[in-house]
Chains A and B, each alone.
Chain A
């Protein structure tokens, strides 16, 4: 089974802190994605990466950056956390061939106070 793991299920940070959210997948997938999910807004794509060191902005990249130094790991960085970044963050991966379905991690619920 494909496993996508995220470093924390719950995280509480203060405004202005730098926050790292880590995602690791074990299926050698080329593509990885970061979404945030908010009530009434559904899932929104923040960034995605289709190869090591490659990244593309999604729909809402402002206030975020990403890092993909190794194929299995995709990190989301909040340079200076703000309260409006309180959300559920979901990581996903997908192979570059085949059915293209996305495999999601369990999510990290981040609260910024």
Chain B
């Protein structure tokens, strides 16, 4: 199973872009990169996922390097409510039954 490596913590100023890196150097060709976040005392929340191409939705952008060994989640204008633990996950298993292996994530603190 592919593993991910993330920094333990990061700070970001409110209103600035938050760029959260993730290393997944052993990812295989058919594995997706997923990002979730968990705000204190809540269940994890899906943010975005991608395979090869960069992706954008209403919450964030996902930039995946050409060799797919790393990716960056970008929150374009971070707010205080974005303070959370962010998990980068490589999805294992086949079909929709594959479970998500959550690592320790990056604790993002957005400061005023």
Task: Tell me the A residues contacting B by CB distance below 8 Å.
Answer: 4, 30-31, 33, 35, 40, 42-45, 48, 50, 56, 58, 90, 92, 94-97, 99-107
Contact = CB atoms under 8 A, between A and B. Distances in A.
A105 B45 CA distance: 9
A106 B43 contact: yes
17 contacts: A31-B96, A42-B87, A42-B102, A42-B103, A44-B102, A48-B99, A50-B97, A92-B43, A92-B44, A94-B96, A96-B96, A101-B34, A101-B49, A102-B100, A103-B46, A104-B43, A104-B45
Interface string B19-59: 00000000000001010100001111110010000000000
Contacts of B49: 99-101
A4 B43 CA distance: 10
B99 A45 contact: yes
Which DSSP category, helix, strand, loop or mixed, fits chain B's interface?
loop
Contact of B42 (A40, A50, A96, A106): A106
Among B91, B96, B102, B103, the one with the most A-chain Cβ atoms within 10 Å of its Cβ is B96
B112 interface: no
A111 B53 CA distance: 44
Interface of B: 32, 34, 36, 41-46, 49, 87, 91, 95-105
Contacts of A99: 49
Nearest to B32: A100
Given A33-B99, A42-B102, A95-B96, A100 B91 contact: yes
B96 A43 contact: no
Given A45-B101, A106-B42, 18 more contacts: A30-B96, A33-B99, A35-B102, A42-B87, A43-B100, A43-B102, A48-B97, A90-B43, A95-B96, A97-B96, A100-B32, A100-B91, A101-B46, A102-B100, A104-B44, A104-B45, A107-B42, A107-B43
